[in-house]
């Protein structure tokens, strides 16, 4: 087990800067997830930790030692990729043990280690099969087994579950979480799926354009996002946003927006003025137009059985999603309705995307801020 530090790490490919001055401390035994949109630099950053890509600037430390110039094979890391890259002509057992073979380990010792790992990953009944005779989930278990058998100090996963169907993904996600509980090895896991990040991570690193937007526990990122990007990225369905403008004169201290929105809202930090508000689908209630804070048209309802999502058009290009515990009556569809929400459910953002803290609003999840 080992800690990982990245110190002012940057990476250019030619003139293209893909990682921009990343500083990050990962604790020994921690499960950290890198999340962010496609192309934001997640894989590149993970490969820099692994030593598969050299940083253009900055330093990488593992267990306190500077490994910036140490090759991948000497860093004590094991990598699991999205594509399993198993050896097609080798049995499951040999695939798992192959790294130990190349190290020259004795056959008996290899076979013992391979059996232990195979039992742990529930592929011990498949030891003589070839990869083509396995399901996607079984192949991914073998790929994890191959990493596990080397007893690395650090596990690196790059979207290991994205080739699996959603049931298998959920199952493997649980297996990986259990593996971390048992091994307590430092793990860094890349995904673009925020729900995978929320369920697996001790801490999530949100990346965007090669920079860190925020680092925090899943709860911190959900309840106290630093900016609009994190607010919009974490949570599913995503947060609803609406452009608003601060009022002046007799209405100072209020904001106004489409759908007849007018509410008291005063910034408590000097980041303002408030340019946009956001409310999560689960923070909204569908009410009559007269009882709502925002007027809108209920265009469509999605019925998922245990929950419903209403799509409410506020302007030509703004639709808010509201999470409903039960189906609205069908005669409401196509009609003008209202959306209501508590003051504490409202997030506010300045024009540059930074979150504006609000006076009088309790800082939701503030207790989770303490490390």
Ligand X SMILES: Nc1ncnc2c1ncn2[C@@H]1O[C@H](COP(=O)(O)OP(=O)(O)OP(=O)(O)O)[C@@H](O)[C@H]1O
Binding residue (CB under 5 A) for Mg ion from 2, 43, 222, 314:
43
CB of 158 to ligand X, least distance (A): 7
Q: Which is nearer to Mg ion, 41 or 310 (CB)?
A: 41
Which DSSP category does 357 fall into? P
Burial of 239 (C-beta count, 10 Å sphere; 0-12/13-18/19+): buried
Residues sharing a CB contact under 8 Å with residue 69, sequence separation 6 or more, in sequence order: none
Assess whether the previous peptide bond of 124 is cis (omega < 30° from 0): no
Window 12-31: contact mask with ligand X (x via CB under 6 A): -x--x-x-------------
Give the sheet arrangement for strand 261-264, strand by strand. Answer: 245-246, 254-257, 261-264
Phi, psi of 234 (to 5 degrees): -95, 130
Decide if residue 271 touches ligand X (CB under 6 A): no
State yes or no: residue 192 binds ligand X (CB under 6 A): yes
> Which window, 20-28, 33-41, 279-287, 325-333, contacts ligand X (CB under 6 A)?
33-41
Interacting residue with ligand X among 8, 23, 39, 119 (CB under 6 A): 39
43 binds ligand X (CB under 6 A): yes
**C-alpha neighbours within 13 Å on the C-beta side of residue 151:** 5
Q: State the minimum distance, in angstroms, from the CB of residue 197 to ligand X.
A: 12
For residue 10, cis peptide bond before it (omega within 30 degrees of 0): no
Question: Using the rule CB under 5 A, is 191 a contact of Mg ion?
Answer: no
- Asked if 40 interacts with ligand X (CB under 6 A), we say yes
Number of shown-chain residues binding ligand X (CB under 6 A) = 12
- Nearest distance, CB of residue 185 and ligand X, angstroms: 22
Q: What six digits make up the tokens of 271? A: 């980041």
Which CB, 42 or 223, lies closer to Mg ion?
A: 42
C-alpha span between 319 and 119 (Å, rounded) = 50
Phi-psi region of 161 (alpha: psi -120 to 50; beta: other; left: phi over 0): alpha
Q: How far is the CB of 38 from Mg ion (least distance, A)?
A: 7
Cβ–Cβ < 8 Å for 140, 161: yes
From the list Mg ion, ligand X, none, partner contacted by residue 192 (C-beta under 5 to 8 A by kind) = ligand X
Q: Cα(349)–Cα(156) distance, rounded to whole angstroms? A: 35
User: In whole angstroms, how close is the CB of 318 to ligand X at the nearest point?
Assistant: 28
- For position 223 contacting ligand X by CB under 6 A, the verdict is no
Piece of 40-48, 99-107, 179-187, 249-257 that binds ligand X (CB under 6 A): 40-48
Q: Which does residue 306 touch among Mg ion, ligand X, none (CB within 5 to 8 A, set by kind)? A: none
Q: Show Cβ contacts of residue 287 under 8 Å, excluding neighbours closer than 6 positions.
A: 337, 338, 339, 340
Nearer to ligand X, 18 or 148 (CB): 18
**Residue placing its CB nearer to ligand X in the complex, 18 or 230:** 18
Chain residues binding ligand X by CB under 6 A are 13, 16, 18, 36, 38-44, 192
């Amino acid at each position: 087990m080992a800690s990982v530090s990245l110190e002012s790490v940057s990476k250019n490919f030619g003139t293209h800067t893909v990682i921009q001055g990343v500083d990050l401390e990962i604790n020994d035994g921690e499960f950290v997830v890198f999340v962010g949109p496609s192309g934001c630099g997640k894989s590149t950053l993970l490969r820099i930790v692994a030593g598969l890509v050299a940083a253009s600037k900055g330093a990488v430390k593992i267990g306190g030692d500077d490994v910036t110039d140490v090759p991948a094979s000497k860093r004590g890391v094991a990598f699991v990729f999205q594509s399993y890259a198993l050896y097609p002509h080798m049995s499951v057992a040999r695939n798992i043990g192959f790294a130990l073979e190349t190290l020259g380990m004795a056959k008996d010792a290899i076979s013992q280690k391979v059996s232990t790992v195979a039992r742990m990953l529930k592929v011990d009944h498949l030891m003589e099969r070839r990869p083509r005779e396995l399901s996607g989930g079984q192949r991914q278990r073998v790929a994890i087994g191959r990493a596990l058998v080397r007893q690395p100090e650090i596990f690196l996963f790059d979207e290991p579950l994205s080739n699996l169907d959603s049931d298998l993904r959920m199952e493997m996600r649980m297996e990986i979480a259990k593996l971390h509980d048992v091994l307590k090895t430092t793990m860094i896991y890349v995904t673009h799926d925020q729900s995978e990040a929320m369920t697996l991570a001790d801490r999530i690193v949100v990346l965007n354009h090669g920079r860190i937007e925020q680092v925090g526990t899943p709860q911190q990122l959900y309840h106290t996002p630093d900016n609009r990007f994190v607010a919009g990225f974490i949570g599913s369905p995503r947060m609803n946003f609406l452009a608003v403008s601060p009022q002046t004169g007799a209405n100072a201290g209020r904001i106004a927006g489409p759908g007849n929105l007018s509410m008291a809202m005063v910034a408590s930090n000097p980041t303002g003025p408030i340019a946009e508000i956001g409310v999560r689908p689960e923070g909204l209630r569908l009410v009559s137009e007269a009882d709502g804070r925002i007027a809108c048209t209920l265009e469509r309802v999605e019925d998922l059985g245990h929950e419903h999502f209403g799509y409410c058009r506020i302007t030509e290009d703004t639709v808010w999603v509201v999470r409903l515990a039960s189906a609205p009556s069908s005669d409401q569809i196509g009609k003008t309705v209202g959306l209501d929400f508590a003051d504490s459910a409202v997030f506010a953002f300045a024009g540059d995307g930074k979150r504006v803290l609000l006076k009088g609003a309790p800082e939701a999840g503030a207790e989770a801020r303490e490390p």
